[in-house]
């Protein structure tokens, strides 16, 4: 048997609906016989009547409704059709969900699923990686699973957590990534994972870029150099400890993300390592992001806009020579 990243997300939701009657799914086209633009909720409306609900095209109200339901003890999962449309709900997410616990002492256990990241031909409005916007503001947990196993267990964890969780699932991984089966338990949330052990350079990454980083690392292994690859798993909280420990071993740091270059996750990792572990570094750290333009439609452009294993390997080689 084999299960994809997308199936893992569906299975996690099926399990959540089965095990916890507080859970419901709210989003555009998630219900009926359709099961979502990506089929992440396929069959669930039938299996769990009245608990997988189609909504109007109203991202602000979808999240607002989820917040209200969460305050009354429910555990809503909101599916955005694409991460990019969560811009419409940003105010509810940042200013309502994100502030509620601190203001009132009452937490808001909602999970917002963001189908994120670039895929071929998707263009400026169906390709965005928005983790850095959400992580910048207080009050939210931002998950960025990079493996089938994490996609599964982290979504289950997300719903269990009493605070709002932004769950960034990468559309590129939906079908590209397969596992043999689903784990019954995952690593604790908040801990980064050594996805590949090494000694010569640390690459820190997450989501789809983890996979590109691993390919780059294998490539370079052929050249006799061993790259350690750290999977952040959650960009907020960011597990500085694991990253620092890795850099302590390797002395070199490359951070790779798919979102836009200014600020964001890669800048944050570099800021933490250099402020807290400056003397661990034997060379200047480096980072790779997408380009500072909208995400292009045509694959010729997109493949340059998006970081990939080749670019990562090239930068890694350069760093390894320094």
Q: Hey, which residues are catalytic here? A: 59, 126
Token couple for 117: 């990241």
306 is an interface residue for a copy of itself by CB under 8 A: no
The nearer residue to a copy of itself, 19 or 322, going by C-beta atoms, is: 322
230: enclosing H helix or E strand: strand 227-231
**Residue 54 contact, options another protein, a copy of itself, ligand TPP, none, Cβ 5-8 Å cut-off depending on partner type:** another protein
Using H for helix, E for strand and C for coil, what is the string for 264-277? HHHHHHHHHHHHHC
Using the rule CB under 6 A, which residue among 55, 81, 122, 144 binds ligand TPP? 81
275 is an interface residue for a copy of itself by CB under 8 A: yes
Q: Are 76 and 69 within 8 A, CB to CB? A: yes
239 is an interface residue for a copy of itself by CB under 8 A: no
Using the rule CB under 8 A, which residue among 8, 52, 268, 308 binds a copy of itself? 268
Quote the Cα angle for 20-23-142, to 5°: 110
Residue 96 beta carbon to another protein: minimum distance, rounded to whole angstroms? 5
Long-range contacts: 101-108, Cβ < 8 Å, 24+? Answer: 101/139, 101/163, 102/138, 102/139, 106/71, 107/162, 107/163, 108/67, 108/70, 108/71, 108/163, 108/164
Question: Which of 64-72, 80-88, 192-200, 291-299 is the region at the interface with ligand TPP (rule: CB under 6 A)?
Answer: 80-88
d(Cα 248, Cα 24) in Å, to the nearest integer? 44
Coil, strand, or helix at residue 75? strand
- The phi and psi torsions of 41 (rounded to 5 degrees) equal -120, 20
240 is an interface residue for a copy of itself by CB under 8 A: no
User: Which residues are paired to 25 by β-bridges?
Assistant: 52, 77
**Residue 9 contact, options ligand TPP, a copy of itself, another protein, none, Cβ 5-8 Å cut-off depending on partner type:** none
Residue 18 beta carbon to a copy of itself: minimum distance, rounded to whole angstroms? 35
Direct distance between the N- and C-terminal alpha carbons of the chain, in angstroms, rounded to an integer:
45
**Residue 56 contact, options a copy of itself, ligand TPP, another protein, none, Cβ 5-8 Å cut-off depending on partner type:** another protein
Choose among 231, 194, 240, 192: nearest CA to 210. 231
Q: Are 112 and 83 within 8 A, CB to CB? A: no
55 is an interface residue for ligand TPP by CB under 6 A: no
Q: Please list every residue from 28 through 47 that binds ligand TPP, using CB under 6 A.
A: 28
128 is an interface residue for ligand TPP by CB under 6 A: no
The nearer residue to ligand TPP, 57 or 197, going by C-beta atoms, is: 57
Question: Which of 63-71, 149-157, 210-218, 262-270 is the region at the interface with a copy of itself (rule: CB under 8 A)?
Answer: 262-270
Interface residues toward a copy of itself, by CB under 8 A: 84, 87-88, 90-91, 94-95, 98-99, 102-103, 124-125, 132-133, 135-139, 236, 238, 259-260, 262-268, 270-271, 274-279, 281, 283-287, 291-294
């Amino acid at each position: 048997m084999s299960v994809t990243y997308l199936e893992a997300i569906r299975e996690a939701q099926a399990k959540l609906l089965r095990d916890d009657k507080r859970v419901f799914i709210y989003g555009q086209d998630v219900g009926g016989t359709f099961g979502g633009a990506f089929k992440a909720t396929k069959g669930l409306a039938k299996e769990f009547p009245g608990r997988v609900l189609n909504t109007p095209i109203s991202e602000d109200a979808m999240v607002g409704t989820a917040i209200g339901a969460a305050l009354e003890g429910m555990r809503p999962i909101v599916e955005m059709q694409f991460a990019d449309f969560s811009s419409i709900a940003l105010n509810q997410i940042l200013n309502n969900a994100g502030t509620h616990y601190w203001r009132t002492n009452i937490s808001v256990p909602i999970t917002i699923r963001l189908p994120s990241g670039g895929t071929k031909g998707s263009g400026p409005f169906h390709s965005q990686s928005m983790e850095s916007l959400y992580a910048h503001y207080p009050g939210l947990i931002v998950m960025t699973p990079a493996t089938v196993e994490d996609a599964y267990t982290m979504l289950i964890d997300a719903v269990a957590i009493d605070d709002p969780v932004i769950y960034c699932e990468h559309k590129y991984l939906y079908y590209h990534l397969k596992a043999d089966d689903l784990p019954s338990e995952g690593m604790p949330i908040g801990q980064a994972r050594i996805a590949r052990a090494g000694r010569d350079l640390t690459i820190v990454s997450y989501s789809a870029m983890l996979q590109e980083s691993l390919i780059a690392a294998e490539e370079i292994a052929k050249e006799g150099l061993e790259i350690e690859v750290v999977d952040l798993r959650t960009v907020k909280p960011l597990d500085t400890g694991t990253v620092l420990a890795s850099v302590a071993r390797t002395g070199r740091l490359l951070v790779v993300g798919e979102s836009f270059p200014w600020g964001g996750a890669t800048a944050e990792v570099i800021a933490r390592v250099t402020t807290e572990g400056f003397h661990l570094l034997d060379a200047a750290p480096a980072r790779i992001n997408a380009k500072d333009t909208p995400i292009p439609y045509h694959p010729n452009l997109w493949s340059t806009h998006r970081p990939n294993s080749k670019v990562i390997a090239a930068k890694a080689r350069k760093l390894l020579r320094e």
